[in-house]
């Protein structure tokens, strides 16, 4: 019985060893080449006043296919350093910002209507 617990312990450790930190946030900028800026919002209790305070932090993430647009809700995962500021990679786009798509369509229509 003791040999069974020893054999399962390394397997459990191997499963958790390569799990990277995952964060969810909103894209605030997608103007750079293959880089997005993701703002992650946290709720933290103030140490003195015990009031819940919103704390936001911006992360630079690598977006290889340039699939994330401004306003999208995305999930990013920690990775090796890609550049001076980029330590995160885009994992998936959770929700698209439909208002941005509508604004882009309206701008395109306005440009086509004016000579």
pLDDT tens-digit profile, the chain (115 residues): 444 444 455 555 555 667 889 999 999 999 999 999 999 999 999 999 999 999 999 999 999 999 999 999 999 999 999 999 999 999 999 999 877 665 666 566 666 655 5
Question: What CATH number did the domain enclosing 100 receive?
Answer: 2.40.50.140
Q: Is residue 105 part of a domain?
A: yes
Q: How many domains does the chain have?
A: 1
Is 93 part of a structural domain of the chain? yes
Q: 13 lies in a domain?
A: no
- Find out whether 88 and 27 touch, Cβ atoms under 8 Å: no
In a domain, 91, yes or no: yes
Q: Is residue 3 one of the residues assigned to a domain?
A: no
Residue 74 burial class via C-beta count within 10 angstroms: exposed 0-12, middle 13-18, buried 19 and up = buried
- pLDDT at residue number 19: 82
Report yes or no on 10 lying in a domain. Answer: no
Residue 87 to residue 18: CA distance in whole angstroms: 16
Asked, for residue 89, whether it belongs to a domain, the answer is yes
Q: Tell me if 43 is assigned to some domain.
A: yes
- Provide the residue range defining the domain that includes 104: 20-113
In terms of pTM, does the model score above 0.85?
no
């Amino acid at each position: 019985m003791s040999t069974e617990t020893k054999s399962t312990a390394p397997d459990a450790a191997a499963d958790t060893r390569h799990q990277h930190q995952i964060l969810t946030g909103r894209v605030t900028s997608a103007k750079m080449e293959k880089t997005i800026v993701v703002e992650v919002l946290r709720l933290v209790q103030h140490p003195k006043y015990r009031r819940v305070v919103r704390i936001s932090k911006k992360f630079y993430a690598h977006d290889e296919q340039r699939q994330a647009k401004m306003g999208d809700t995305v999930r990013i995962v920690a990775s090796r350093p890609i550049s001076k500021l980029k330590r995160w990679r885009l994992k998936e786009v959770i929700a698209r910002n439909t208002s941005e798509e509508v604004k882009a369509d309206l701008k395109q229509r306005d440009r086509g209507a004016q000579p």
